[in-house]
Amino acid sequence: MKKILITGTSSGIGNFLGKELWKYHTVYWVSRKESLLDIQEFLWDINDENFVHHISESIDTVDYVILNAGVWYFDRFENISLDKHREIIQTNLLSNIIFTHIFSKKITGWIIFIWSISSKKSGKFWASYSASKFWLRGFAMNLKNESKLGIHIINPKVVKTNFHHHSKIEIQGKFQETPIGDILNTVADIIEGKEKRFEIDL
C-alpha cells in the first residue's frame, strides 16, 4: 500500500483516480469538494499558496504525488475573457510549479503529471490551455534532469468527463478520445514499477 496525494479531485480524471486508487492505497484528496469517502481531505483552492503550505505541514511523507489540477475554457481565443486566460495559466502552470516547490521534500518517490496531448500538438479553440501545458511540459522535462525524484508525464487525448462543462464549442466526435480507464491503468503500472517511460502518450 502506497501513500498517494492527488490534486484536482473535485471532478473528472482526478476524481476518478482518487476513488479507484483509494481502494488499494492511502490517498490524500486535494479538492474544492468533499469526497464522501473515508479519506484524508484538504479542501480549498490549489491556487492559494498558504493552503499548499498547510498541506505540506500536515503530511509527513508521500510516495507519489499526482498533479492533475487544471481548468480549460474551450472556445475561440478572442471569446475567452482575460480573467479566464489568467485563471488557465495560474491553475494549470503556476499552481503546479508552486505546489512542487513547496511539497517536493515530502515526496519519497515519484511525481506523476497528468498533462494533455495538447502539450505536444497544436489544435483549435485551446490556445491558452495548450500554452499552459507546453510550459508545464518544459518544466517537468527540466525537473527530471535535476531532481532526485522520479518524474512521469501522462498525456491523454480528450477524456469524456465533466471537465469540459465550460466549453462553448461542442467537442464530442471532433477529437480522438482516451478512455479514462487507460489513465488509471497507466498510473497503476507506474506504481507497480511496470511502466518506466518518462512520457506516456495515451
- Taking the CA atoms of 70, 47, 29 and 35 in sequence, report the sign of the dihedral they define: negative
Segment 192-200 mean pLDDT? 95
Note the pLDDT of residue 170.
53
Residue bearing the bigger pLDDT, 122 or 44: 44
Q: In the predicted model, is pLDDT for residue 194 greater than 90?
A: yes
Q: Looking at residue 161, what is its pLDDT?
A: 60
Tally of structural domains, the chain? 1
Q: In 3D, which of 91, 101, 140 has the Cα closest to residue 119? A: 140
pLDDT value at residue 129: 86
Spatial distance between the Cα atoms of 8 and 187, rounded to a whole number of angstroms:
16
> Please, are residues 116 and 136 in contact by the beta-carbon 8 Å criterion?
no
Q: Assign 182 a pLDDT band (cuts: 50, 70, 90).
A: very high
CATH number for the domain spanning 19: value is 3.40.50.720
Grid coordinates of 19: 476513488
Q: What is the pLDDT of residues 101-123, one digit of tens each?
A: 999 999 999 999 998 777 777 77
pTM for the model stands at: 0.88
Range of the domain at 166: 3-201
